[in-house]
Structure 1
Amino acid sequence: MSDKRITGLHHVTAISGPPQANVDFFTKLLDQRLVKKTVNFDDPGTYHLYYGNRTADPGTILTFFPFVGARPGRPGPGMASAYGYSVGADVFDHWAAEVAKRGGRVSDPEERFGQAVVTVTDPDGAAVELIAEPGSHDPAEGGFHSTTLWLHDLGPTQRLLVDHMGYEEAGHEASDGFERLRLKAPGDARGTIVDLYRKEGAARGVQGAGTIHHVAFRALDDADQLDWRDRMLRAGMQVTPVIDRQYFNAIYFREPGGVLFEIATDPPGFTRDEPLESLGQALKLPDQYEPLRDRIEAALPRISA
């Protein structure tokens, strides 16, 4: 068991098709705020869109690379397959009905580890879970409840998360052909839960629209991140150097089951280049792309939030 512990999720990054449908779904159906409109640093002809709560706090941030011509993907072993928002139990039924009223495709409720869960299907077919927890908070303010990692073998990923990242076992459910192991980070931060999921006979996932690209965990600051980097190297992971992502610094590695993990710093945050009240309204570019602004803006599809 690690003496150092991850506090929870920082963000989740996924892939979508055309951006306007993505914006409409998350801002109009789920009341998320578009908190940053920038570009993929490796492909500036593609947006990088960030959604979160009103103050863009870590643990509420969902990001997308929206590729206009993206082929559909397929979740499966070796990738994160779902993320869940925390919704207050007092308003859970209201929110499930409200999302359906707004045009969302909402599943019948199920129970998972004693909590009510409904799945909303986004425009690219991805699973967005709403999970009931005590309170009366909406999905945006509640932020993340959990993410699910779909794996062929739960053991190696479980050992990494428990022995080296400080997670604790919090439940196990199994039935014919599948099992789900729940791990929880200590504390009361947002997004403390990681579910490890296995389904017999599942084909490996294919990256594309409607799939999750990576899952990011929180580091308090740069020094904390460097300590995590050293720890992950000692755990046998192949970890990138620190990469400046404008609003946080990031390190990346693939955990033993194949899922891409990131550890991202809380600072400097999303108000680094625009004030809180106008987050997400203007296209923000990193310094290296600012001289190309006219060309980049001409290539990007128009979106409205």
Structure 2
Amino acid sequence: MTTRIPGIHHVTAISGPAQANVAFYTGPLKQRLVKKTVNFDDPGTYHLYYADPKGSPGTVLTFFPFADAGPGQAGPGMASAYAYAVPAAGFDALIADLKAVALEVSAPSLRFGERVVTVKDPDDAPVELIESATATDMHGFHSVTLWEREPDKTARILTDVFGYEAVGSEKLNGVERLRLKAPGAERGNIIDIIRTDAVVRGRPGKGTIHHVAFRARTQDEQHGWQEALARVGHRTTDVIDRQYFNAIYFREPGGVLFEIATDPPGFAVDEPEATMGTKLMLPPQYEPIRARIEQVLPKLTVAS
């Protein structure tokens, strides 16, 4: 078994109406909709996947869009933000493009020496864009931020079990930020953990992150992570078939829901790579009621 997690596989969040979500992420954010399927536990709800053109691990952002969802609020025990790595050569141009379509972009600030700006999606979720000297496109994750009351407990899982390394810390406006990095140069290999004295209570809802998924390159690696976590007192779920990867879940000490997802089989397992995301793909158990599902789900238009 590999002794280190290589980085993030995907991030899953909750949104409001699906069309507004699609328009934003395939439009100004320039991500590809690589899979249009349903929530396996609620087939009357979409599960939308955005990524690079191939649906590569480390680029995948997924949403459960609930049209009637109330607004959420990030707080301790939740993942509070995800960040894309933007090539330095295109960073200023991307900001200009976002402003040109009337999106409000925060003033740039420095985080561990890199410029970062924030833009809000249609559900007021913060989407961070970080200037990166190593990024080659605008699809890969740079990092995910976790909000913890006791960062040390979470950091120990990431370092002692997953193999991340603490590479620095900084404090800005009363918020302490610890940076952990998985060795290597895989996309999405950074986890930031913040702690703040502000009294905030988290509330799931639209605009919040549901869970963070880490990568297992193979099924054998995933089994190995189950065993490694059990040895330190963290039992995971059984392996769950999510059609495009197998998943196991557990809650880390601070309360964030963590998943470990396998790289295979990938998003081209049930449709050609060239046309991924154009058709509604259903798991086998829902094919007999496809007509009923398609009648309930709203039609979606992807930005051209």
Contact 1:11–1:62, Cα closer than 8 Å, also in 2: yes
Q: Which runs of 4+ in 1 moved over 6 A?
A: none
C-alpha separation in 1, matches of 2:214 and 2:135:
26
| Pair 1:166-2:156 in alignment | no
**Aligned with residue 258 of structure 2, among 251, 256, 261:** 261
Partner of residue 88, structure 1? 87
User: What one-letter code is carried by the residue in structure 2 that aligns with 1:164?
Assistant: V
Contact 2:12–2:63, Cα closer than 8 Å, also in 1: yes
User: What one-letter code is carried by the residue in structure 1 that aligns with 2:22?
Assistant: V
**Aligned with residue 289 of structure 2, among 289, 292, 295:** 292
> Helix, strand or coil for the counterpart of 2:204?
coil
The verdict on how the C-alpha distance between 1:151 and 1:265 changes in structure 2, with shifts beyond 3 A counting, is same
The verdict on how the C-alpha distance between 1:59 and 1:27 changes in structure 2, with shifts beyond 3 A counting, is same
Per the TM alignment, residue 204 of structure 1 is displaced from its structure 2 partner at its CA by 2.5
Percent identity between the aligned chains? 59
Q: Which runs of 5+ in 2 are unaligned?
A: none
Partner of residue 73, structure 1? 72
Q: Which runs of 5+ in 1 are unaligned?
A: none
> Helix, strand or coil for the counterpart of 2:206?
coil
C-alpha separation in 2, matches of 1:158 and 1:36:
33
User: What one-letter code is carried by the residue in structure 2 that aligns with 1:212?
Assistant: I
Per the TM alignment, residue 136 of structure 1 is displaced from its structure 2 partner at its CA by 6.8
Partner of residue 25, structure 1? 24
Per the TM alignment, residue 102 of structure 1 is displaced from its structure 2 partner at its CA by 2.4
Per the TM alignment, residue 3 of structure 1 is displaced from its structure 2 partner at its CA by 7.8
Alignment of 1:203-282 (within 5 A): 203-282=200-279
> Helix, strand or coil for the counterpart of 2:27?
helix
- TM-score where L is the length of structure 2: 0.97
Contact 1:73–1:206, Cα closer than 8 Å, also in 2: yes
Partner of residue 98, structure 2? 99
Partner of residue 10, structure 1? 9
Per the TM alignment, residue 119 of structure 1 is displaced from its structure 2 partner at its CA by 0.4
Per the TM alignment, residue 19 of structure 1 is displaced from its structure 2 partner at its CA by 0.3
**Aligned with residue 196 of structure 2, among 196, 199, 203:** 199
Per the TM alignment, residue 91 of structure 1 is displaced from its structure 2 partner at its CA by 1.4
Q: CA RMSD in A?
A: 1.3
C-alpha separation in 2, matches of 1:227 and 1:154:
25
C-alpha separation in 2, matches of 1:176 and 1:83:
20
The verdict on how the C-alpha distance between 1:26 and 1:133 changes in structure 2, with shifts beyond 3 A counting, is same
| Pair 1:45-2:47 in alignment | no
Q: Deviation per CA, 1:80-134, whole angstroms, max 9, x where unpaired?
A: 0000000011211111111221232211100000000000100000010000111
Per the TM alignment, residue 235 of structure 1 is displaced from its structure 2 partner at its CA by 1.6
Partner of residue 118, structure 1? 117
C-alpha separation in 2, matches of 1:183 and 1:131:
16
Per the TM alignment, residue 135 of structure 1 is displaced from its structure 2 partner at its CA by 5.0
Q: Deviation per CA, 1:237-279, whole angstroms, max 9, x where unpaired?
A: 1310000000000000000010000000000000000001000
C-alpha separation in 2, matches of 1:176 and 1:247:
41
C-alpha separation in 2, matches of 1:117 and 1:17:
26
The verdict on how the C-alpha distance between 1:281 and 1:3 changes in structure 2, with shifts beyond 3 A counting, is closer
Aligned residues: 302
